[in-house]
Structure 1
Amino acid sequence: MILASASGAGNAVLGLGLATAGAYAVPAVFARRITDGAGRTSLIVAWLLHAVVLGWTLLGEPARFGFGPALSVTAWLVLTVYAVESRMFPLLRARWALSGLGALAVLLALVFPGSPLHVEGSATLFALHLALGIASYGLFAAALVHAWLMTRAERQMRQAAEPQSGMPLLTLERLTLRFVTAGFVLLTATLLAGIFFGELIYGRAWRWDHKTIFSLLSWVTFLVLILGRARFGWRGRTALRWLYAGSALLLLAYVGSRFVLEVVLGRTPS
């Protein structure tokens, strides 16, 4: 745990992490009391500090990874997507929720920093495989954020209230499916790399474990969603149920299994 580390590097990461969480907390806690400009500035500062913390953790000596850093990277990628979209849709309103997500993810990564990475196969292929997996997590997480915005907008419309998402409902739906499709492509590439190059990446052949099974189940679920949308025009709650199911399975695939190993069982994953 970084919080228990007495090393200079550990203290530096701890200080940066707490500063990042504090910057994220400003627009999350004081959403109604600060101006849009101040909230945006705080979020940008937090996003930049978050990138530094991730770089220090993933590229430092020794590089560490686990369920905490995985969630932290995912949150950072979601915030990156939000930063791009907020330029195209200035009225997009999700800053307070995403700020809270960012603060929580950073704190989790500080408390549960994972274990040092030991690469037995090709370091280049391992890095590529890890990047593909993380990117697919980020895209599916972005799809979940848009699904949440879409659900909130539909509820407000049923209550005859003005939608607060800042984005048309059909646009939200279209973007949600696009993120799902992009995430599915990267998840497919991740699984294929593991199947065909497992020995080169990990120094061992592909094996059936909890991570593999849940990953394949999530892949099948997302495939059904994409085909159901294309063939039967699935929309609304039906599509969202499949999205939530696939995302839950994908979460269990890596984050869930690592959480059980690192926290519940107190073991260092191999």
Structure 2
Amino acid sequence: MQALSLAVMALIFYMGAASWQAMTLLRRAPARPALVRTLGLLGLLCHLPLVAKLISLSPGILPGLSTSAVLLTAIMVAMLLIVSLAKPVLSVAVALFPISGLALLLAVGLPSPERTGGMTPGIALHAISSALAFAVLAIAAIQAVLLGLQNQALRHHHTRGIVQSLPPLTTMERVLFELIWAGMILLTLSIISGFVFLDSMFAQHLAHKTILSLAAWVIFAVLLISHHILGWRGMRAVRWTLGGCAVLLLAYFGSKFMLEVVLQRG
């Protein structure tokens, strides 16, 4: 019951912050970044105890589906709150905060299977860099969606509503590529540390994650190189960002969902 209460409270705070930011984007409420951050922080404070509880039940190197979702969304919320102090990315909260709240409710109803085993410093480095890479690139994906909406609106000469509330197109694009660069550095560290510290990155239970993570790395690398050399931007950058993030999402959650939900294996 306590876990459910925390999840509901977090969802309320997250939805309040997301709703205000959405009304700001629609120009139906004044910008209140401090209010959005405060509500988001309150949601995160309700979020973190559930993270600790689920991790205590799943201390292995491969946490279950619900544990992974709760942990990664908490990291994403924390990173968004921090990054928004320096970069105009708070609009990402419109999508991220509700997703985080719903992930908590899912975790309450779908507990993570227990696992055993310790975590060495090398494996901890791999796990942390993997989680941070996913968090940053997931934020980049939401930023790409907003950029795509802005780009389409400007192409059709729709200059009211959300377009007026977002930063200039060039700023949105610059922030997107800054997020992708940061995510790529972390993803590279995750892949390298995995090969160095894990027994076999192509073992049966890790092969899919390794292959899909490498595929996502290649997609983002092509995007960054093409942006630098060929000037890729706009909707092409949006599509490649979303494609890379979709592959990374499958790498992190695809097999967990199949094993724990569809096949119901521990």
Q: Secondary structure at the match of 2:265?
A: coil
The one of 228, 232, 235 aligned to 1:234 = 232
Q: Structure 1 residues 88, 29: CA separation in 2 closer, same or farther (over 3 Å shift)?
A: closer
- Mapped contact 1:149–1:165 kept (Cα < 8 A): no
Shift of 1:247: 0.8
In structure 2, do the counterparts of structure 1 residues 129 and 165 end up closer, same or farther at CA, with 3 Å as the change threshold? farther
Runs of 5+ in structure 1 lacking a partner? Answer: 1-10
Partner residue of 2:214? 216
Residues 87-121 of structure 1 show CA distances to partners (whole Å, capped at 9, x for unaligned) of 3467954444333122122222223332223236x
Q: SS of the counterpart of 2:166?
A: coil
CA contact (8 A) 2:3 2:50 kept: yes
Q: What residue number does 1:177 align with? A: 177
Partners in 2 of 1:146 and 1:168 — Cα distance?
A: 13
CA-based RMSD of the aligned residues comes to: 2.8
Alignment partner of 1:17 is 2:7: yes
Could you tell me whether the CA contact under 8 Å between 2:147 and 2:238 is conserved in 1? no
Q: Which runs of 5+ in 2 are unaligned?
A: none
- List aligned pairs for 1:130-145, cutoff 5 A: 130-145=127-142
The aligned counterpart of 1:161 is: 160
Instruction: Work out the CA distance in 2 between the residues paired with 1:184 and 1:239.
Output: 15
Identity fraction in percent: 31
- Write the distance in 1 (CA, Å) between the matches of 2:143 and 2:113: 32
Partner of 1:149: 146
Q: Deviations over 1:203-222 (max 9, x none)?
A: x5643622222111111111
Change (3 A) 1:246 1:38: closer
CA distance in 2, matches of 1:140, 1:152: 18
How far the C-alpha of 1:250 sits from its partner, in A, is 0.8
How many pairs align? 252
Q: CA deviation at 1:57?
A: 2.1
Deviation string 1:222-264 (CA, Å, 9 cap, x unpaired) is 1111111111111011112211111111111121111111100
1:207 aligns with 2:197: no
SS of the residue aligned with 1:144? helix
- Of 44, 51, 76, 1:54 maps to 51
